[in-house]
Amino acid sequence: MNLANLRENYTKGGIRVADMHPDPYIQLKDWLKIAAHSGILEPNAMSLATSNSRGRISIRTVLLKGLEDHSLQFFTNYHSRKARDIAQNSHAAINFLWKDLERQICLRGTVEKTSRETSETYFKTRPYQSQIGAWVSERQSEEVPVRAVLEKREKQLMEKFPEGTEIPCPEFWGGFNFKPTHVEFWQGREGRLHDRIRYRQDADGWIIERLSP
């Protein structure tokens, strides 16, 4: 396989500053709706990059679960590497990639925990197996000797909390709000002359500008 020869020519269209909504959150919602209606698997999947206090960067995929109070909301284990990174360094970056639409959205901003009430409210909406899974993976990102350890813990929890009973939200699990300061909408174009429209926050609101590809 010759990696240097792997390339696609993007032809699905372009974007103009004049066509973008003044509010990047509304523009983001519009692109999410288009992605969802196009049949893309998990259009709310986003790559989340974090860094600890020593500048060591980690990246993983999480799911966007809400757009509340001008922030992007996701939920996770507070013992996880991402949560530990955020505790040390609140700055992070997010990327959505919808290859079938030849689009991506890149965001930079800061992260903070949601309220406990928000975490508990969302936890109640999760499927039974996902609620059990949150309890099983209490020490997320830590080494597990064999998978059987997790399966034994899962069985114990399913016996303790049979399906149909209320499962409490773990104290070590909850939400985060990502508040962007920069949002870039990217549309692939022919000849690699891609369209890049960036929203940049200042004291008076959002500045919209075109970037060189």
Among the listed residues 16, 56, 116, 192, the single catalytic one is 192
SS3 161: coil
CATH number at 65 reads: 2.30.110.10
Residue 86 maps to a domain: yes
pLDDT tens-digit series, residues 82-120:
999 999 999 999 999 999 999 999 999 999 999 999 999
Say how many domains are in the chain.
Answer: 1
Judge whether residue 7 has pLDDT over 90. Answer: no
Per DSSP, helices labelled H in the chain are 24-37, 81-88, 116-125, 128-136, 147-160
Contacts of residue 200, Cβ cutoff 8 Å, sequence gap at least 6: 181, 182, 206, 207, 208, 209
Residue 103 maps to a domain: yes
Task: Please report, as a single letter, which amino acid is at residue 75.
Answer: F
Residue 96 maps to a domain: yes
Q: Angle at Cα 194 formed by Cα 181 and Cα 41, nearest 5°?
A: 75
Q: Would you state the pLDDT for residue 112?
A: 98
Residue 18 maps to a domain: yes
Containing domain of residue 20, as a range? 9-125+173-211
Q: Angle at Cα 172 formed by Cα 167 and Cα 177, nearest 5°?
A: 105
pLDDT tens-digit series, residues 56-81:
999 999 999 999 889 999 999 999 99
Q: Would you state the pLDDT for residue 197?
A: 98
Look at strands 45-51 and 57-63 and give their pairing. Answer: antiparallel
Of the chain, the percentage scoring pLDDT greater than 90 comes to 89
Question: Is 126 in the active site?
Answer: no
Beta strands in the chain (DSSP E): 45-51, 57-63, 66-68, 71-77, 91-98, 103-113, 173-187, 195-202, 205-211
Residue 178 maps to a domain: yes
Residue 153 maps to a domain: no
State pTM to two decimals.
0.93
Residue with tokens 């709706």, as numbered in its chain: 33
Residue 2 maps to a domain: no
Residue 138 maps to a domain: no
